[in-house]
């Protein structure tokens, strides 16, 4: 495999190479277990001396090839696939944080992540300070504490479609000497490579664009291999792990310490393993990621321009739209396009928005987002419904907000569907 391939070639052929007379397409290894000839050989696998599968909770050949493909596309040293995007976030953070630690996180993150940070992590003794990602660097630094161990954000926020200022966040991370973790789900490695912009760990809900067909749940963690874990703040990666033969991940695995520990320690103990079949399907989806993202971006921009000029639309937000608050950041960090999600409001507020959604015929009301089929929902009554009004406001979610995930259909058909739905909302 050639890591110097362009990302389009990596998507199609990265990480799997068929031998003579072998399957041209990555095979599905639907097995939980793997046979070994000797006790000594299997022992070397348990000791992390041999990189071969022993049990699918930890490794599977199909999943392994998929992990290597995404790591290649993101430019990381390794990756770990998980059973869902939320599993990826949980494993990545629990891999380095413990009770008594503190996280700085953008307040505009996905509602599920918001709840994870403010409830589950709180119950585990991990403190989280949420802040407006648009505040100045000096204001973010004032929020840091002696026990701050991580700064977290999303390349494109869900559902606000705000664009992260990588330069500012990476500068904060460097000044605090802490890792910078980014959820790159909406952008995908085709539109943005956070590791080249100062991030250290990248997450994806592969259930979204990477799969692209709403066929299977999944997540993935990509290790940039570009953070010094031996800085005195992360003894879990440096000191001997007594639960795993006293291994020191930094000493034994160097730049790959984070991702090896995530697999050998957290995944081993907590599960959250992807099905090999889901890895197989998601890998197939990833082969056309670059083609789909081009159409998603093209259609989303056309729909944003259409909505901006529509008499029934009170407002529209899309970073690719000229005049949008985040347009300059989108041009800087997302030169290939601003992805396929936008938000807007229907004149008449929440009730008019519901009438509009109920009248749609081609575009579906679903809780999912970011696949080939266009869909909508009202975040305040779905993904963010567990948040209080105050929390909604802090997240920037207005009651009339409609999130529109623009698919790859013919844009004229989408506009026609919106036109008839707007008539019903009057």
Predicted confidence (pLDDT) per residue in 322-378, tens digit = 999 999 999 999 999 999 999 999 999 888 999 999 999 999 999 999 999 999 998
Using an 8 Å Cβ cutoff, are 402 and 346 in contact?
yes
**Cα–Cα separations (whole angstroms), residue 222 to 26, 77, 260, 305:** 21, 8, 11, 35
Those residues with Cβ within 8 angstroms of residue 312's Cβ, 6 or more apart along the chain or in another chain = 346, 347, 356, 422, 425, 426
SS3 285: helix
Average pLDDT over residues 267-271: 95
Average pLDDT over residues 372-388: 82
Average pLDDT over residues 112-137: 96
Average pLDDT of the chain, as a whole number = 95
pLDDT of residue 386 exceeding 80, the answer is no
SS3 10: helix
pLDDT of residue 188 exceeding 90, the answer is yes
- Per-residue pLDDT, 304: 98
Nearest CA to 362 out of 407, 400, 392 is that of 407
The span from the CA of 160 to the CA of 156, in Å, is: 8
Using an 8 Å Cβ cutoff, are 104 and 95 in contact?
no
């Amino acid at each position: 495999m050639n890591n110097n391939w362009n990302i389009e070639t990596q998507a199609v052929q990265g990480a799997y190479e068929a031998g003579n007379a072998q399957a041209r397409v990555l095979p599905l290894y639907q097995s939980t277990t793997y046979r070994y000839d000797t006790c000594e050989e299997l022992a070397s696998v348990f000791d992390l001396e041999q990189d071969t599968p022993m049990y699918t909770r930890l490794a599977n050949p199909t999943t392994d090839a998929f992990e290597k493909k995404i790591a290649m596309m993101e430019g990381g040293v390794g990756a770990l696939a998980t059973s869902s995007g939320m599993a990826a976030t949980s494993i990545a953070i629990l891999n380095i944080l413990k009770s008594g630690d503190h996280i700085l996180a953008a307040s505009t993150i996905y509602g599920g992540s918001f709840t994870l940070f403010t409830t589950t992590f709180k119950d585990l003794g991990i403190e989280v300070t949420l802040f407006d990602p648009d505040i100045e660097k000096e204001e973010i630094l004032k929020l840091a504490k002696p026990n701050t161990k991580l700064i977290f954000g999303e390349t494109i926020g869900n559902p606000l479609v705000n664009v992260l200022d990588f330069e500012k966040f990476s500068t904060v991370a460097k000044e605090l000497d802490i890792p910078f973790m980014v959820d790159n789900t909406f952008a995908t490695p085709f539109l943005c490579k956070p590791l080249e912009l100062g991030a250290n760990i990248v997450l994806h809900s592969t259930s979204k664009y990477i799969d692209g067909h709403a066929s299977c749940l999944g997540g993935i963690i990509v290790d940039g291999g570009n953070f010094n874990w031996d800085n005195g703040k992360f003894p879990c990666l440096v000191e001997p792990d007594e639960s795993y033969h006293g291994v020191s991940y930094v000493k034994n695995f160097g730049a790959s310490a984070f991702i090896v520990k995530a697999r050998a320690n957290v995944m081993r103990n907590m599960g959250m393993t992807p099905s090999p079949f889901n890895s197989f399907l998601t890998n197939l989806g990833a082969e056309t990621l670059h083609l789909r993202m081009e159409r998603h971006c093209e259609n989303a921009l056309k729909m944003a321009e259409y909505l901006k000029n529509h008499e029934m639309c009170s407002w529209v937000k899309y970073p690719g739209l000229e005049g949008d608050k985040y347009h300059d950041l989108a041009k800087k960090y997302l030169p290939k396009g601003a992805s396929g999600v936008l938000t807007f409001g229907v004149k008449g507020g929440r009730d008019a928005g519901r009438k509009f959604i109920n009248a749609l015929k081609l575009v579906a009301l679903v809780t999912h987002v970011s696949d080939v089929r266009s869909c909508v929902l009202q975040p305040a009554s779905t993904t963010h419904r567990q948040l209080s009004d105050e929390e909604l406001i802090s997240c920037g979610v207005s009651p009339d907000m409609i999130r529109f995930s623009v698919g790859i259909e013919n844009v004229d058909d989408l506009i026609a569907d919106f036109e008839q739905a707007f008539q019903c909302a009057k």
